[in-house]
A and B are shown apart, each in its own frame.
Chain A
C-alpha cells in the first residue's frame, strides 16, 4: 500500500471534524445519533460539520428509513476522505515529532501505514 503524502487538510483542522473522520476511519458506518453521542455535540453542530465534510467529499451519507418511519442517517468515510485523513494524520505526527507510528488507514486499519517521513 502507498504511503500517504503528509499534508494538513484545511477541513480537518477543525478538531470536531478531525474527530468525526477519526471515528469513521475505524468502522464501516456510524449512525448519526451514535456519532453525535460519541462527540458530545448537538444535532445542529454535527449536521453542520457533516455538511462541510460532505461538500469536501470526505464522507458518504446514506439515509435509511427506520421501523418508526423516521429516517436514520448512516455515515461512512469515503475513499478520498480516508486518503485525506491519512495525509493529515501523517503530517500531524511529523509536526508532533511522533514518527514511525501507525496511522489510520482502512476501517480498523486492516492495512496500517507506517510513516516513513
Chain B
C-alpha cells in the first residue's frame, strides 16, 4: 500500500483534509440561491423540498434562547472578559451557514451580475458600488483579478468585501447577514450550561483549533479546515480565519461624559482572523467593529435564515414524486 493511500485511509491526505466538504458539482445560481424558494410564496412544493435538503446540508439550526452581549460602554471597552456587565438579548430560532461564504460562491454572484443589479444595493451607496472593484478594475472583491477567484482559493472565505457587498450577496441569494446576538448565540449555543464558553470548544485557547496569529499561517485557509474547532452542532471557524461582518451597526454607548466617535459608520465584526494577535480578542464574546466600506483581506461573512420565516412544503413527498 502506498504512503498516500495510507494517509487517505486515515482521512489525513493533503488532498482531502479531515472534515473537508466535497462539492461534487460546480457552483451554480440554483445551488447558491436555494434559500430564495423558502421565502417565496409562489415556490412549488418540489422547489421548497429541494431547498430544504440544501438547508440541511449547508446550514445548522440554532434554537431560540438568550445570550449575554458584552457591554460597549466606554467604561467597559477595556474589559478582557465582560461577563458581569453583559446585556441579555433574546434570539429567535434561526438557521446559520456551517461555513463562511467562499470565493466559489461569491464567483456565482459576480458572474450573475450582482454588482450591476442595483436592486440588491441600498440606494445611498450606489455611487460607491462603482468603486467596489478588484485589482484589475473589474467588479469583484478587492484582491481578485479580472473578476475571477484567485487560483486555488475557491474554498477560502471570500475577503476584501465591504459590508455592502456582503449585504448585496445576502439579498441576492435569499438569506441575510447574521446579527451580533445571533452570531454569538450560534458560536456558544451548543455548549451546555449557563456559563457559555469563550471558544466553541471550551474556555482555553488551542492554536490547533483556530487559524489566528498563534497558528502562524499568516493567511486564510479553506473554510472547512480546523474542523476540531467547530461548534458541537457543526458550525466551522466561528473563531479565527476571518472576521465576520454582522448585521449590527457599531453603536457604542455614552457614559460619564465619555463618548465614542468614529470616522464614519461602522458595523460589528466577530470571531477574529488569521492575524488576530491576542487570543482574548478571538473569542465568541469579543465584539469589535470595522468601517462598513472597509475591504480587508481578513474580513468575510456568513449568512442565516430566520426559522419562522421559512415555507414548509404542503406535500412532504413532493421531492420523491419528482423522481429525485
Decide if A and B are genuine partners.
no
B residues apposed to A, CB below 8 Å: none
